[in-house]
Amino acid sequence: GASSCPPVRVFDAEHLNEQLHTAFTAFVQSTTQLKWSSNWTEEGVNSEAANHVKQKPASSMVPKSRRLPPSVDINLSMIFKWYKEDFQHPLPTHYSQSIKVVGDEEDVAITTWVGKLDHLKDHDRHVLGVVMKYLQPSKRKALLTLPHIGTKATSYGDVLPLSSAVKVSYLPYDWSNDSAAVMEM
């Protein structure tokens, strides 16, 4: 298969939901990249970068020192863009009842957080809502706790909202042959 393609596996009917869950989780966690701004990391504020003060020209009406806002570019597999329609609706009831991905409280937090990203296209928000549930817990927590108020004034002195701190993009698809997946017959 192609290098960007999930590995091909054989599944059995008795454990299909669990096996698909494991495969999807592995795919999301291995392909989703979070690119944090220089003053923010998955663990929180990068104190060395946060202490760096950006100087404005003396003639500027904006105060001379402002930190860059924490931001993240969430890079997803191109497969999520190509098959965006598959992520527009909740998982089938029989699947979602047999596999609990995140707890109810965290599910509500994810839904609320994604709902605030009104600058994103609807399909990007839907895909992000699904992907968030399968990310490593540390990455999910870092995104859910991304500060978004009072972090930086724009040139007009406004506070940047969460929507300007989160971008979604899709990684180029690697069509080269995944030689590790090739089996000799």
Contact 129, 143 (CB under 8 A): no
How open is the CA angle 103-32-40, to the nearest 5 degrees?
A: 85
List pLDDT tens digits, range 67-81.
555 678 999 999 999
Of 125, 170, 166, 154, the C-alpha closest to 56 is 154
List pLDDT tens digits, range 96-154.
555 667 888 888 888 888 888 888 898 999 999 899 999 999 999 888 887 654 344 44
Query: Above 90 in pLDDT, residue 164?
Result: no
Please report, for the chain, how many H helices and E strands are present, in that order: 7, 7
Task: Quickly state the pLDDT bin for 88 (edges 50, 70, 90).
Answer: confident
For residue 126, the tally of other CB atoms under 10 A from its CB is 20
DSSP label at residue 46: -
